[in-house]
Amino acid sequence: MLRLLPLSTLLLIPAIIASPIDAPRAEPLPLIIWHGLGDNYAADGLQSVGELANETNPGTFVYYIRLDESPDSDRTATFLGNLTEQLEQVCSDLSAHPILSTAPGVNALGFSQGGQFLRAYIERCNNPPVKNLVTFGSQHNGIVKYQVCGSMDWLCKAYIGILKANTWGSWVQSHLVPAQYFRDTDEETGEPTLDYLESSNFLADINNERELKNVTYAENLATLDNFVMYVFENDTTVIPKESGWFAQTNLTSGEVTELRNRTIYKEDWIGLKKLDEKGALVFKTTPGPHMQIDDDVLEDVFKTYFAPKEAASDTRRPHHEQEFMEL
């Protein structure tokens, strides 16, 4: 004999089945990290960042972008190489990666020059797509002075010497990495020089500063959920440090033109205005000199921007609910 359940029990069962306690939790997106000048993908400091990301969001797959499997060669590639070709290699590597290529998206963390390189990846290929981009001390609006090398860093000193001698030469612009995000400006107006606009192999293109704009760049960057830019309060390596916020600095007067007052924003050359209008453009400062980052700052980034979101609840009536209601 079929035993009928009380109506109160029947009404309670669907609620139990659909309870958020039993709802599946979303897995964290993979995290890709691109290091800065003079560093390499296997460095202990960089690996510890990935470990902290996994401690904060368990199950995070971390991929350290590299241009060579040899750490020494990967470090050399931070000084020597054609950024257009390097980005093509990274785009190919990520799109073919067995885990990254099948993910619904990835988060991205860029340190120093790695930040603008990740932005260029988003603009130029973005496969797999980046959901949240966080950069620390990056040169988004370029540099006007080359960094000072360590006293025993002969590789750095050799390249910087060549850079200073002929920044806009075709060989330098196709071989020496920092020259390709150097941005020469007029001393009086602060506007980019003709040499920069005509000869820059990288920055003038990804910032869409030339007359002919690449609309795909703006479309791709505007798809981000968040673009978070950290500037170091006491940064004396990146000159000007405000470059990390896309600001333009007149070195003669010291006047800083903030991003929202610049044409790149007003005409939305690369999608920054669209990001800002949806609340996805975030300006942050962190204490200390260039690339001195406390773990609590990184942990806050991982919790705030890289934490997995709850799985979207299914608003359709559960199948079992329909069965019980039919009894």
Query: Could you give phi then psi for residue 192, rounded to 5 degrees?
Result: -65, 145
Told to judge if 235 belongs to the known catalytic residues of this protein, a careful annotator would answer yes
Looking at 74, 140, 199, 290, which residue is catalytic? 290
Looking at 235, 243, 268, 276, which residue is catalytic? 235
- Within 10 angstroms of residue 271's Cβ, the number of other Cβ atoms is 24
Q: How far is CA 134 from CA 137, 203, 224, 231, 276, in A?
A: 10, 19, 11, 11, 15
Cα–Cα distance measured from residue 146 to residue 182, given in angstroms and rounded to the nearest whole number? 8
Total number of residues shown for the chain: 327
Cα–Cα distance measured from residue 254 to residue 6, given in angstroms and rounded to the nearest whole number? 78
Q: Is 284 helix (H, G, I), strand (E, B) or coil?
A: strand
> Which run of H or of E encompasses 286?
strand 281-286
Nearest C-alpha neighbor of 147 from the set 234, 239, 244, 230: 239
Looking at 39, 112, 138, 205, which residue is catalytic? 112
Cα–Cα distance measured from residue 224 to residue 107, given in angstroms and rounded to the nearest whole number? 10
Classify residue 193 by burial, with Cβ atoms within 10 Å: 0-12, 13-18, 19+.
middle
Residues near 187 by beta carbon (within 8 Å), at least 6 away in sequence = 250, 251, 252
Q: Which amino acid makes up residue 97? A: H
Give the active site residues.
112, 235, 290
